[in-house]
Structure formats: C-alpha cells, structure tokens
C-alpha cells in the first residue's frame, strides 16, 4: 500500500470492467448505490428502491448485451460504477457513438479520484471498441460531475430546462460529447 507525505496509508484506487459479480461485490455495489442515491447522485433514482430491487438491477445490467459495467474500488471494495451503453444494432446512423451513463460514486469515497479514473476507463473502453464519440448527460445540480467532465474534455452542446424531477422540483440538465477519434466527423 502506498503512503501519503504525512506517512498515513493512501487509498488504493482501481477500476475494472466486470462481467460477473460475487455476492460480496454485489453487496458493496448496492451499498455504494444506496449511499449515492440518498446523497442525491443516484443515477436516476431519487429514493433508494430497496436492496432486492438494486440487486435485480445490477444483475440485469450484466445480462444486457449493449451494456458494459465498470466498477471503481477503493482498497478492494466497490465504491461506485458507471456503464458504457452501446447503441442498438438497428441504429446504424449512430453506431459510431456510445454513451457513458448511470455513473455514481458513494459519498464516502468522493475526493479520492475514483470518478476521474472510472470516467477515463469507460472512455478507454469505448475507444477500444472502436467508438468515435462518447456522449453523456448530467443534472445541473451535480456540479462536481460537471467540473470533472469538462476537465476531461467533454463539450457541453446543450441544456434541457426540464431535464428531471427531483423531490417535486424540476431541474435542468446538460448534454455532453467527447470526440474519441479524429475521424469522427468523416464518413
């Protein structure tokens, strides 16, 4: 384990694509998701849906051919995840572009670089699969995520004034893209 300048142990951060999860990993993934949802960064959920629903959700994600699940770990424990969504086969016109979606980090793991590593790993995964563009969207209230995405070169191309409803209030959202390959605009 590495150490900080003060001599205290530093957290070991890793990110990986997973195609299966152990019961222990599923427990950690659901715990991280619950914490993120409660804190307001719940990748669509406003209220925790309960452990059985989260378990079904994540097991289902692993079964969908167009989805890749990436997890971020701190000291070996899953503390967040993101998904790479490939376009359906019938969408030939947009087959060059993938979407980074459902990204979250548990509040107790924020500030350690997990989100940055997770986003970069999803981007690398999209590039390795031959995608030329990576899209994403985010609520305007998630300022840390906005700063992260913009610092990584994502370009905001538009906003939506009625993007989502959270606790009875309408919130706006932003849409981003990042060109992964220079030939993205060519036929």
- Which CATH number fits the domain that encloses residue 33? 3.40.630.30
pLDDT digits (tens, 9 = 90+) for 123-150: 999 999 999 999 999 999 899 999 999 9
Q: pLDDT averaged over the chain?
A: 92
4 in a domain, yes or no?
no
The residue range of the domain holding 179 is 13-185
Task: Name the token pair of 174.
Answer: 């932003």
Span 59-68, mean pLDDT? 96
Strands 133-139, 155-166: pairing is unpaired
6 in a domain, yes or no?
no
Phi and psi at residue 58, to the nearest 5°: -65, -35
Phi and psi at residue 153, to the nearest 5°: 95, 10
Question: Which pTM was predicted?
Answer: 0.91
138 touches 98 (CB < 8 A): no
153 in a domain, yes or no?
yes
Question: What pLDDT sits at residue 119?
Answer: 98
Rg value, the chain, Cα: 17
Residue 10 — very low, low, confident or very high, per pLDDT cuts 50/70/90? confident
Number of domains in the chain: 1
- Contacts with 8 (C-beta within 8 Å, 6 or more apart), sequence order: none
pLDDT digits (tens, 9 = 90+) for 149-165: 999 999 999 999 999 99
31 touches 55 (CB < 8 A): no
Which 3 state secondary structure label does DSSP give 117? helix
The residue written with tokens 């030329």 in the block is 132
116 in a domain, yes or no?
yes
2 in a domain, yes or no?
no
């Amino acid at each position: 384990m590495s150490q900080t300048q003060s001599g205290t142990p530093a957290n070991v951060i890793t990110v990986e694509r997973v195609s299966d999860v152990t019961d222990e990993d599923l427990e950690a993934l659901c715990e991280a998701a619950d914490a993120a949802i409660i804190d307001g960064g719940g990748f669509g959920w406003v209220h925790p849906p309960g452990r059985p629903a989260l378990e079904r959700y994540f097991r289902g994600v692993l079964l969908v051919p167009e989805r890749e699940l990436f997890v971020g770990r701190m000291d070996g424990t899953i503390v967040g995840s993101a998904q790479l969504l490939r376009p359906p086969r019938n969408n030939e016109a947009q087959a060059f572009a993938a979407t980074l979606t459902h990204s979250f980090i548990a509040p107790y793991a924020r500030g350690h670089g997990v989100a940055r590593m997770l986003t970069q790993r999803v981007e690398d995964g999209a590039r390795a699969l031959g995608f030329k563009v990576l899209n994403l969207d985010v609520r305007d209230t998630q300022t840390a995520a906005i700063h992260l995405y913009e610092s990584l070169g994502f370009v905001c191309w538009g906003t939506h004034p009625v993007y989502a409803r959270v606790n009875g209030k309408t919130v706006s959202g932003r849409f981003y893209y990042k060109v992964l390959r220079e030939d993205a605009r060519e036929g």
